[in-house]
Structure 1
Amino acid sequence: MKKCIYIIATAAVLIACESRTYEEISDNTPVPETVTYNKDVKAIIDGNCVSCHSPGAQALTNYTQVKNNIDNIINRISRPNGDPLKMPQSGSLSPAQINIITKWKADGLSEN
């Protein structure tokens, strides 16, 4: 009887455990609507970039600065964890936030 309970308990533990990566459990849903700076991107930049990138040559405090640096921004936010050039330095943006910024570029970098 003890052996049967042990086997059932072990099986339950093994079945209950999942091994899923961050990418599998993160919201990586494509963005269906047109993305604009003021509606979608500004809040991400303000919340994650402006604390370090304001003011100065690498400032990201307005539409023009972000638009003019979009290729570098996408490059830096898309780097793997552990890469010393990954931004933001305080931690990674979510896949959904990266999708929004990437789609903004694909949609033509509209301000409004």
Structure 2
Amino acid sequence: MKKFMYLISSAVVLVACESRTYEEISDNTPVAEQVTYTKDVKPIIDANCISCHSPGGPASFQPWTSYNQVKNNIDNIINRIGRPNGDPQKMPQGGSLSPTQINIITKWKADGLLEN
């Protein structure tokens, strides 16, 4: 019985420490069979990254306004969007992409970084 109670207590503690929101956990929207930049990735970048990663933005030194710029920075992008909440290098700053958005970007790389 002690082992059972220990197991239950441990599970409660682990679940209680979850830092993601209900929306992040429950977002299980299916990802397109084949992800392309124009159809799937660009809308995510435009909505979440362009305000900083464009001329005049605080990250204008690393613009992501074109297919080639995003493609050439994909490893850095995936690294930064996948960081845990609270990490100062997590992108987008002050927010988070949904798991589906992260999966789309990751799958785009896996699918060969197709443009159209």
**TM superposition score category, shorter chain reference:** 0.7 to 0.9
Matched residue SS, 1:80: coil
User: Max radius of gyration: which structure?
Assistant: 1
* Per-residue deviation, 1:41: 0.3
Is 2:54 the counterpart of 1:54?
yes
* Per-residue deviation, 1:90: 2.9
**Unpaired segments ≥5 residues, structure 1:** 1-18
Cα displacement string for residues 22-72 of structure 1 (whole angstroms, at most 9, x for unaligned residues): 377321355251000000000000000000011233100010000000000
Is 2:27 the counterpart of 1:22?
no
Aligned-partner Cα distance in 2 for 1:83–1:26: 22
Aligned-partner Cα distance in 2 for 1:69–1:30: 25
**Unpaired segments ≥5 residues, structure 2:** 1-15
- 1:91 maps to 95
> What percent of counterpart residues are identical?
77
Is 2:115 the counterpart of 1:111?
yes
Is residue 77–residue 87 contact of structure 1 (8 Å, CA) maintained in 2? yes
What is the one-letter code of the residue matched to 2:97?
A: L
TM-score of the superposed pair, with normalisation by structure 1: 0.76
Is residue 28–residue 99 contact of structure 1 (8 Å, CA) maintained in 2? no
Query: What root-mean-square deviation, in Å, do the aligned CA atoms of Structure 1 and Structure 2 show?
Result: 2.0
Aligned length: 94
Q: Which moved further from structure 2: 30-39 or 75-84?
A: 30-39
